[in-house]
Chains A and B, each alone.
Chain A
Amino acid sequence: MTIEELKPILEALIFVASEPITEEELVRILPEVDRASLEAALGALRQEYEADGRGLELRRIAGGYRITTRPEYHDYIRRYLKTRPSARLSMAALETLAVIAYKQPITLPEIQEIRGVNSARAVKTLLEKRLIEPKGRKPVVGRPILYGTSREFLIQFGLHDLSELPTIEDLEELGSEGS
């Protein structure tokens, strides 16, 4: 199969997947295609989507590929869907999520040590929203639960992987600029 033949097949598969579809899944579905051609076709497809004048984009999210609308057209989509943006996370929950994202796996007492406030409710909210998940227990007194971010976290924040977050050094610089 040529790359030109492969492109529309991949596009159709990515479109129809309800979650970001990984290269591994694509390989499984298309055993007749070698990995190199698959990657070449995906690359070409992404380039086409990056061209101006399209309402959709092909993005790498949570280790997979996903077709989404471009953010600049959200007003029109909302008119059609007749929905309002869903409730945002509170600052407390976001701060807690940030601590977990950078320090994972981390226990509740450790989160509270950094934030200086009780964070049990924020952790509960994040668990309910499936943005974090238990990753085992820390072998210390009381065996507290260790938390880490989930795949859902990557999806909801549009991240391909955790390395897309600014590094701790970047944060230090940004922080010192602000004060």
Chain B
Amino acid sequence: MDDWLDRLEEIPPREPECDREPPHRYMVKLDVFEGPLDLLLHLIKQEQVSIYDIPIARITEQYLEYLRRMEELDLTIAGEYLVMAATLIYIKSKMLLPRDPMLAPEAEGEEDPRRELVQRLLEYQKYKVAAERLWSKAEREQAVFTRGRLETDEANSEVNATLFDLFRAFQRAMERLKERRELTIAREEITMAEKIAELRALLEREERVDITALFEAARSRRELLILFLAVLELVRIAVIRLVQTERFGRLLALRARALAEIMA
């Protein structure tokens, strides 16, 4: 966060359109905002206006100026920024409309068109503060060390694998399959039931089965997919459990029964 200063961009002042508004120079760091809400909070803070009473015309003008600036620098403007621009212009136009004279003055049903935006900004602001808190926590933890790793950590560790790990292994195998560019003409007609039976048989013979190796051995997308689904099913019905010997390591399937014996 210390390096944000030297990334500041100075923007030349624009011709003030209205005499009441003092000519201002404002600084925008073009690549720092985490989205339109972040940018809006920045503009509100910079203008020192209340978040509960946003001068929409002024803020909209500055918001659009920022987008123009992004365009000049040939930066791709994310769709979210454009949606927010449209929202701001809509709110601005709504506020310019005269009130419905048929409505009683200060009628209850009449809502401030800014309300929803203010709610979103307030909500977002909370998590921005929370993120800063986490940042300082992480900062402290970066300066903290635990004892060096022991050899036994590597030998014994058996990390519980998550479905995410399974999916990663599957994705990797899919990518490798793409690279192989093998031409398979005959369509294999192996079904999921057969695959499950095959896996079960394998697990009868061996205590642990290397799932990553099975993925790698798959010859077609179809076989790989069926294998993936079969593993998912076996996990679901608790026939096997997936473990890894190290984080992001190879996936191993353990017979749930074998597992129960280990745990006992």
Q: Cβ of B162 and Cβ of A67 under 8 Å apart?
A: no
A134 to chain B: which residues have CB within 8 Å? 162-164
Chain A proximity of B33: nearest CB distance (Å)? 9
Q: Quick one: closest A residue to B136, CB to CB?
A: A157
Q: Cβ of B131 and Cβ of A117 under 8 Å apart?
A: no
Q: Quick one: closest A residue to B141, CB to CB?
A: A158
Q: Cβ of A157 and Cβ of B134 under 8 Å apart?
A: yes
Q: Once bound together, how far apart are the Cα atoms of A134 and B168, in whole Å?
A: 14
The residue from B134, B140, B162 contacting A101, defined by CB atoms under 8 A apart? B134
B130 to chain A: which residues have CB within 8 Å? 98-99, 101-102, 165-166, 171
Chain A proximity of B206: nearest CB distance (Å)? 28
Q: Cβ of B138 and Cβ of A115 under 8 Å apart?
A: no
Q: Cβ of A115 and Cβ of B44 under 8 Å apart?
A: no
Q: Cβ of A159 and Cβ of B120 under 8 Å apart?
A: no
A85 to chain B: which residues have CB within 8 Å? 142-143
Number of A-B contacts (CB under 8 A): 131
Q: Cβ of B138 and Cβ of A89 under 8 Å apart?
A: yes
Q: Quick one: closest A residue to B139, CB to CB?
A: A88
Most central of B45, B84, B131, B163 by chain A CB within 10 Å: B131
Among the listed stretches B5-13, B34-42, B95-103, B207-215, which one makes contact with chain A, having 4 or more residues with CB under 8 Å of it?
A: B34-42
Q: Cβ of A18 and Cβ of B127 under 8 Å apart?
A: no
Q: Cβ of B126 and Cβ of A175 under 8 Å apart?
A: yes
Give 1 or 0 for each of A132-154: 1 = CB within 8 Å of chain B CB. Answer: 01100000000000000000000
The residue from A74, A89, A117, A118 contacting B145, defined by CB atoms under 8 A apart? A74
Q: Cβ of B150 and Cβ of A18 under 8 Å apart?
A: yes
Q: Cβ of B131 and Cβ of A95 under 8 Å apart?
A: yes
Q: Quick one: closest B residue to A174, CB to CB?
A: B129
Q: Once bound together, how far apart are the Cα atoms of A99 and B51, in whole Å?
A: 21
Interface residues on B, range: 35 or more
B78 to chain A: which residues have CB within 8 Å? 117-118
Q: Residue A97 at the B interface, CB < 8 A?
A: yes
Q: How many residues of A contact B (CB 8 A)?
A: 48
Q: Cβ of B36 and Cβ of A117 under 8 Å apart?
A: yes
Q: Once bound together, how far apart are the Cα atoms of A178 and B32, in whole Å?
A: 18
Q: Residue B149 at the A interface, CB < 8 A?
A: yes
Q: Cβ of A88 and Cβ of B138 under 8 Å apart?
A: yes
The residue from A16, A115, A171 contacting B150, defined by CB atoms under 8 A apart? A16
Q: Cβ of A130 and Cβ of B247 under 8 Å apart?
A: yes
Q: Residue A69 at the B interface, CB < 8 A?
A: yes
Most central of A18, A67, A72 by chain B CB within 10 Å: A18
Q: Residue B80 at the A interface, CB < 8 A?
A: yes
A contacts, CB < 8 Å to B: 15-16, 18, 66-72, 74, 77, 81, 85-86, 88-89, 91-92, 94-95, 97-99, 101-102, 114-118, 127, 130, 133-134, 156-159, 165-166, 168, 171-172, 174-175, 178-179
B contacts, CB < 8 Å to A: 32, 34-38, 41, 44-45, 51, 78, 80, 84, 120, 122-131, 133-135, 137-138, 140-147, 149-150, 153, 157, 162-164, 247
